[in-house]
């Protein structure tokens, strides 16, 4: 069974957001909540364009968690529309409007309309690293083999 964690959402202008769906899961085992565009006018994304898409809400993420912003697979595969800094991170102490940075990697212009599902939000636990400076690292079989070291 999946554990449910409260995520507080505040519509920034409830009257103007009445037509928008709140972030929601579209199947019982879905990992991500779809989030909709709150722009008043259609947004045109030409190939290579980047835009910051408003959602009309802010959130209070519980301490120890982040919201990851990920592309919607259908938009990415069919149109080349993806999250420019994928996965994006919304930190637990951020209280401003959630905005989604999208880029058009496709070959055709794409229009984003108000209410269109534009990305997924995933609530994920965060572990804090405790950085320790050492003189030498433990060796591994891979060692310093970098990009392409396995031949792929």
Q: Give me the tens of pLDDT residue by residue for the chain, a chain 152 residues long.
A: 678 899 999 999 999 999 999 999 999 999 999 999 999 999 999 999 999 999 999 999 999 999 999 999 999 999 999 999 999 999 999 999 999 999 999 999 999 999 999 999 999 999 999 999 999 999 988 888 777 767 66
Q: How far apart are CA 69 and CA 89, in angstroms?
A: 6
What CATH number is given to the structural domain containing 87? 2.70.40.10
Number of domains present in the structure of the chain: 1
| Residue 10 counted as domain residue | no
| Residue 139 counted as domain residue | no
Helix or strand (DSSP H, E) at 97: none
| Residue 111 counted as domain residue | yes
| Residue 135 counted as domain residue | no
**Predicted TM-score of the model (pTM):** 0.88
Cα 5 to its chain centre, rounded Å, is 18
| Residue 12 counted as domain residue | no
| Residue 63 counted as domain residue | yes
Burial of residue 55, with CB atoms counted within 10 A of its CB: 0-12 exposed, 13-18 middle, 19 or more buried: buried
* Numbers of helices and strands, H then E, in the chain: 1, 11
What lies within 8 Å, CB to CB, of 144 at 6+ separation is: none
| Residue 109 counted as domain residue | yes
Identify the domain containing residue 86 by its residue range: 29-125
Closest by CA to 41, choosing from 114, 103, 98, is 114
| Residue 1 counted as domain residue | no
Q: Is the peptide bond preceding residue 20 cis, with omega within 30 degrees of 0?
A: no
């Amino acid at each position: 069974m999946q554990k449910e964690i409260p995520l507080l959402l505040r519509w920034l202008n409830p009257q103007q957001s009445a037509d928008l769906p709140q972030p929601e899961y579209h199947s019982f085992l879905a990992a991500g909540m779809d989030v909709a565009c709150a722009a008043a006018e259609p947004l045109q994304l030409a190939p290579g364009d980047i835009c910051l898409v408003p959602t009309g809400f802010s959130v209070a993420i519980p301490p120890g968690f982040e919201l990851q912003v990920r592309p919607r697979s259908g938009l990415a595969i069919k149109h080349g529309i993806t999250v420019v800094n994928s996965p994006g991170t919304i930190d637990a102490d951020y209280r401003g409007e959630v905005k989604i940075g999208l880029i058009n990697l496709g070959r055709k212009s794409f229009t984003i309309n108000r209410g269109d599902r534009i990305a997924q939000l995933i609530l994920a636990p965060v572990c804090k690293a405790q950085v320790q400076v050492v003189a030498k690292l433990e060796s591994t079989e891979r060692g310093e083999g970098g990009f392409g070291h396995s031949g792929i």
